[in-house]
Chains A and B, each alone.
Chain A
Amino acid sequence: MTGTPITLTGVHKSFGDAIAVRDLTADIPAGSFTALLGPSGCGKSSTLAMIGGLLEPDSGDICFDGQSQLGVPADRRPAGLVFQKPLLFPHLNVEQNVAFGLRMRRLDRRHIRTKVDSILDRVQLTALARRGVGELSGGQEQRVALARALVLEPQVLLLDEPFSQLDATLRAEMRCLVKALYSESGVTTVFVTHDQAEAVEVADTIALMLRGHLEGQGEPEMFYTAPPSLAAARFFGVTNELPGTVRGGIFTADTAELRRPTTLPDGPAVLVVRPETISLATPSGDDDILSGVAVAARFAGSHVAVDVRLAGDSSVTVHAPVTTSVALGARLAVGVPRSAGTVLAAT
């Protein structure tokens, strides 16, 4: 079983006056594991519902393997959906829930039996096959929901924040299971989440959605090393922003002697530097130096986060090794490697 590529072209969807998805164009390659990431209300769940056929876009096209899916109802699309809630049918037991889709396809009993048994084995629920769904724990319920979608051998698996109601340990366990099932089947998987750490861990591609449109799509590393926009960089967490201006292809920071070549047009811009790429250690000759005063230091387990106030009003956060001792109020030099940071247009 191999996956199907999904193409979204100029997809638009609004509910009354509220625009949920705006001119969304994205390519989801066959057999990829894509995280559709974004804050709540950014339109990611609507996008998933449109791919699954539960919502029709107002305009634009959605294709599986080049075939337009517009007007094809959810029950005729080769897509499996797992929601945030397990939504197990309470009048059926575990086995019957998993068999539901196969019965809808009018497969014969023996065939259904074999398929159900094999998928229950893969999600380690064979022992619970005849239990009522009311007797299951949260993690078991979600495993049944996953099995119920996968038993149909869909070409596209759509997961809408499937683990957000589980606790952290169980969530990690479920992520592993989903990853394992994914690598066995190679089904094109789209995973909606608002948790960037989860997206980075589980997906091979991240599509970041902000306010209804696609902010950027690429490998998880890209969003850390070369974020596509300031908004994307901010969504990916603690980032230092050094404001400045671009003139003739060179970015100059306002408050420090710091220059970077850039392809951006002239105008205000921001250099974004992640706190783990800069250091307090004796700067090597290749680093740009920012000097400032340490104003706060927080122990964060794997590192110490040091806030340094620079000249002017700006400040940066540096992740230093836990062995570092910082005297608050002391003057410090912060080394910024020439290769670190991305120049982005200011918003």
Chain B
Amino acid sequence: MQFLLLAPVIVPGLAVTLGIQVFFVRYHLSDSFLGVILVQLMPTVPYAAIILGAAFANLDIDYERQARALGAGPLRVLLFVTVPLLRPAITVATLLTFLISWSEYVLTLLIGGGQVKTLPLLLFAAIGSSDTTSAAALAVLVIAPPLLLVLAASRLLTGRSGSAVGFGRL
């Protein structure tokens, strides 16, 4: 099971995508926004699964028992205890999957078929047509958000103490 989860990272993404494309065409998912979202799960989910899996394995479920005993129902335990306890891992997983997805080129091109335009696609098109002005502008657009996000996240994760990570808000 764990191996299956990690398989997309081990097997070259291009090989898998070429196979997937056949099915996506059959189910009218290629050249569509939904198709691109689905195919981008492939390189991202393994990382999210590894990070969150480790966090869940280390989660002490006695915290949840204690919260129940203090009058929190199952939903509120999840909201006010479990998620805050997992917040560092969720932050890291979100960041990492965003970075992977943000710079994804090959999968988007193959499944999106040029119909779904993401920034990397536009950037490559601009470079290909020697439109250096657009390319420069797009390059800044591609680089800036991940850079800012990583900065913000590293701030959050290395706050004064480990407990500061969860913001301490109910």
Partners in one complex: yes
Q: Report the minimum CB–CB distance from A169 to chain B (whole Å).
A: 26
Asked whether any CB of chain B lies closer than 8 Å to the CB of A133, the reply is: yes
CA distance A80 to B80 in the complex (A): 19
**B166: nearest residue on chain A (CB-CB)?**
A91
Indicate if the CB atoms of A96 and B163 lie closer than 8 Å: no
Q: Contact: B85 with A91, CB < 8 Å?
A: yes
Which chain A residues (81-103) contact chain B, with CB distance < 8 Å?
A: 81, 83, 85, 87, 89-93, 96, 100-101, 103
Would B72 and A89 count as touching, CB distance under 8 A? no
Interface centre among A81, A92, A133, A135 (most CB of B within 10 A): A92
Q: Which residue of A lies closest to B77 (CB)?
A: A75
Cα distance, A105 to B66, chains bound together (Å): 15
Q: Is the CB of A85 within 8 A of B62?
A: yes
Q: Which of A83, A89, A135 is most buried by chain B, counting CB atoms within 10 A of its CB?
A: A89
Q: Which of A83, A133, A152 contacts B66 (CB 8 A)?
A: A83
For B63, give its contact among A74, A87, A152 (CB under 8 Å). Answer: A87
| Residues on the B chain within 8 Å of A135, using CB | 161
Q: How large is the interface on A (under 10, 10 to 19, 20 to 34, 35 or more residues)?
A: 20 to 34
Residues from chain B with Cβ under 8 Å of A148 in the complex: 70
- A248 at the binding interface (Cβ < 8 Å): no
Q: Are A104 and B70 also in contact (CB < 8 A) when A87-B62, A92-B170 are? A: yes
B76 and A104 within 8 A (CB): yes
Q: How far is the CA of A148 from the CA of B65 in the complex (A)?
A: 14
Give, as a whole number of angstroms, the nearest-CB distance from A76 to chain B.
8
Are B165 and A91 in contact (CB-based, < 8 A)? yes
A80 touching B69 in the complex, CB below 8 Å, given contacts A89-B63, A104-B76: yes
From B76, B80, B81, B168, A93 is in contact (CB under 8 Å) with: B168
User: Are B71 and A89 touching (Cβ within 8 A)?
Assistant: no
Contacts of B166 in A (CB 8 A): 90-92
In the docked arrangement, what's the CA distance between A103 and B77, Å? Answer: 12
Chain A stretch 39-65: residues in CB contact (< 8 A) with chain B: 52-54
Whether A54 pairs with B84 at a CB distance below 8 angstroms is no
The smallest beta-carbon distance between A140 and chain B, in angstroms, is 15
CB-contacts of B46-76 with A (<8 A):
60, 62-63, 65-73, 76
- Judge if B3 is at the interface, Cβ distance under 8 Å: no
Q: Are A91 and B71 in contact (CB under 8 A)?
A: no
A186 within 8 A of B: no
Please pick, from A81, A90, A134, the residue contacting B85 in the complex, using a CB distance under 8 A.
A90
In the bound assembly, the distance between CA atoms of A91 and B170 in angstroms comes to 9
Candidate in B62, B73, B163 with the most chain A CB atoms within 10 angstroms: B163
For residue A237, CB closer than 8 A to chain B, the reply is: no
How many inter-chain residue pairs (CB < 8 Å) link A and B? Answer: 86
Which secondary structure dominates chain B's binding surface? helix
Give B156 Cβ to nearest chain A Cβ, in Å.
Answer: 12
Once the chains bind, are A75 and B72 in contact (CB under 8 Å)? yes
The answer to whether B69 and A79 touch across the interface, beta carbons within 8 angstroms, is yes
Indicate whether B167 reaches chain A with its CB closer than 8 angstroms.
yes
* A73 and B68 contact, CB distance less than 8 A: yes
Whether the Cβ atoms of B168 and A92 lie closer than 8 Å is yes
Residue from A54, A134, A149 within 8 A of B65 (CB atoms): A54
Of B67, B68, B163, which is within 8 A of A90 by CB? B163
CB distance from A304 to the nearest CB of B (A): 46
- The residue in B65, B87, B166 that gathers the most chain A C-beta atoms within 10 A of its C-beta is B65
Cα separation A40 to B154 with both chains bound (whole Å):
45
B69 and A75 form a contact (CB under 8 A): yes
In the bound complex, what is the Cα–Cα distance between A135 and B81 (angstroms)? 20
Give B145-170 as 1s and 0s: 1 = Cβ < 8 Å from A's Cβ atoms.
00000000000000001111111101
What 1/0 mask marks residues of chain A from 115 to 157 whose CB sits below 8 Å from any chain B CB? 0000000000000000011110000000000001100100000
Enumerate chain A residues within 8 angstroms of B70, measured Cβ to Cβ.
75, 80-81, 100-101, 104, 148-149, 152
Known contacts A75-B73, A93-B163; 18 further A-B pairs (Cβ under 8 A): A53-B69, A74-B68, A75-B70, A75-B72, A79-B69, A81-B66, A85-B62, A87-B66, A89-B81, A89-B84, A91-B85, A91-B167, A92-B170, A96-B168, A100-B80, A132-B161, A133-B163, A134-B163
Query: Which residues of B pack against A, CB within 8 Å?
Result: 60, 62-63, 65-73, 76, 80-81, 84-85, 87, 161-168, 170
6 closest cross-chain pairs (CB), A and B: A91-B166, A81-B69, A101-B70, A74-B68, A91-B84, A104-B71
